[in-house]
Amino acid sequence: MTVYKVPQQELQFILEHLVNYSELCALPGFEDASPDMVAAILPEAARFFEQVVAPTNWPSNTQPAYLKDNQVITSPALDGVYQQMVAAGWCSLSGSTQYGGAGFPAVIDAVVQEMLQSANVGFSLLPTLTRGVIHALNLYGSDEQKDRYLHKLISGVWSGTMNLTEPQAGSDLSAVKTKAVPNGDHYLISGQKIYITWGDHEQAENIIHLVLARLPDAPEGNQGISLFLVPKYTINTDGSLGPRNDVKPVGVEHKLGIHSSPTCTLAFGDNGGAIGYLVGPLNQGLMCMFSMMNHARLAVGHQGVSVGERAYQQAVEYASQRVQGAVQGVQGRASIIHHPDVKRMLAQMRALTEAGRAMSLYTIAAEDRASHHVDEEVRQLSAERVEIMTPLVKGWCTEMAMETTSLGVQVHGGMGFIEETGAAQHMRDARILPIYEGTNGIQALDFIGRKCLRDKGKGIQQLITEMTESANNCSCKTLQEILFATIEQCQSALEHVLQNSHKASFVAYQFMMLFGNSMAFWQLSILACVAQKKMDAGDSDKFLSQKIATAQFYSTQILPRNHAHLEAIVSDAKCVDELSFD
């Protein structure tokens, strides 16, 4: 198992040359998050996650959480780690200063969260879900709810969860049966929720559950679902914790991966009803919850990047040490990192990870502009950009995480199949990413339906236009030609789908992957062109030549997949109706 090192130069390069952080931090509300401040805190964050959190990854995998006497016992490897993270302020970077947060842009928080996710992705889910609760309360909570809950949630002293799924209601939330009965100034919640990430634990002082439920007279289907806030411990008028609420864990899932994260079945109301409070309008809980879910989808996409980075680092270290066979130009027996096919796999892992990182941080920076830019037109355009890119970040980055972690096992050869090397853990941990927060099939349908057909391709066409402007200004001629060809593929796919909307559901996955490949290459090309200009000006840093080489590798070894995706999109879709699975 390798020692994790934060790719600080890569992160700083993206912040400076892709995100344009010097412009971003000048927006209202971000004045205290200057580039100098970021340059000072990121090395401190790197030191914390490398030295304190990363060593917990393997032991918390081998000693997972379990249920005992209606209480979740988390891995002993995590004892005290969350409290150190809270005390150091790493949970509150992007929180509003009004409620005790540091007020940094979300893109800086995402950079720090990548460090946490690479260090221990299962553990990282604890603050990730809390951020979703914070996001939902900021949008839909009452002033009283914000004052009561946000300070403790932003600091990390309290954590949060998202409660959607039930045994009979997976992705189809219209089947939710959990009940909410009015009772004075609150509601009594009863029902069962499954797959609740960090649904119970003792790491935080309290857990704030956001729960989808129905009132007795609510209409059927999605229109009758409301959102409720249900604390693990009730809260007294002075803000102190009161008695335990009527919610308890009744199971902890035995999962393929992310063993350090307790995934719970929660029972609400076994003893009369859990006290809950309405968040947002009645019967519009799905709308409120989706704001939280979309926030989480971007986080999951970046989890894919983070797990890929950890797998890549481990594969490079193993390949540099494992001696086997002979290679021309190397005296004696060579380490396998010199073997061409191993170099191919490592290059593929790096290219996919760096491409995903660039696409993800580009999107999260757009989210910052959507909420803070002074120009309303820029805010609107940025918000539309985030809407379009969210299913790509979640869908494409998590698909690539599966590919990258699988390659990591392959680089290790037979040792990759042995648990003790740790390579298999990354692959198992990554497998949940294409599933939760909406499967990648759902992301594909969202991208082709809501983000393409609904506005007749207007938003995606704007994205293609921006890609074209980048191609016109590209200083790397080889990449420029390929970027123009990629734009033509995107244009062809878009026009075909708009003209053949009846087959959209069938080709949705191919459509998402083609655009994911293309958007990722676009971002890599921008960074490669910056690197080329720096080299032309006399900068000889090896990092710069590697940025160009990585983009060129992506263009020749990964981007050709678009030919197959486009062919599948324009093909006859009737064959799917002719298939039978009886």
Residues annotated catalytic, as ranges? 437
Torsion, CA 450, CA 451, CA 457, CA 458, rounded to 10:
110
Partners of 264 in the β-ladder: 196, 252
- Report the C-alpha gap between 555 and 74 in whole angstroms: 44
- Report the C-alpha gap between 277 and 145 in whole angstroms: 9
Which residues, including other chains, have CB under 8 Å from residue 481's CB and lie 6 or more apart? none
Q: How many CA atoms lie within 13 A of 453 on its CB side?
A: 20
Instruction: For 500-541, give the secondary structure using H, E and C.
Output: CHHHHHHHHHHHHHHHHHHHHHHHHHHHHHHHHHHHHCCCCC
What six digits make up the tokens of 53?
Answer: 């959190």
Closest among 13, 5, 9, 6 to 524, alpha carbons compared: 13
Break the chain down into helix, strand, coil percent, rounded to 5.
60, 15, 25
Which residues, including other chains, have CB under 8 Å from residue 511's CB and lie 6 or more apart? 444, 447, 448, 452, 493, 497, 504, 565, 569
Q: How many CA atoms lie within 13 A of 500 on its CB side?
A: 19
- Report the C-alpha gap between 461 and 465 in whole angstroms: 6
The string of DSSP letters for 187-247 reads EEEEEEEEEEET-S-SSSSEEEEEEEEB-TTPPSGGGG-EEEEEESEEE-TTS-EEEEPSE
- Report the C-alpha gap between 240 and 438 in whole angstroms: 36
Closest among 473, 491, 432, 423 to 197, alpha carbons compared: 432
- Report the C-alpha gap between 513 and 510 in whole angstroms: 5
> What amino acid is encoded at 442 in this protein?
I
Cβ-contact 11, 41 below 8 angstroms = no
Q: Position of tokens 């809390």?
A: 130
Helices and strands in the chain, H and E counts: 19, 12
What six digits make up the tokens of 526?
Answer: 């921008």
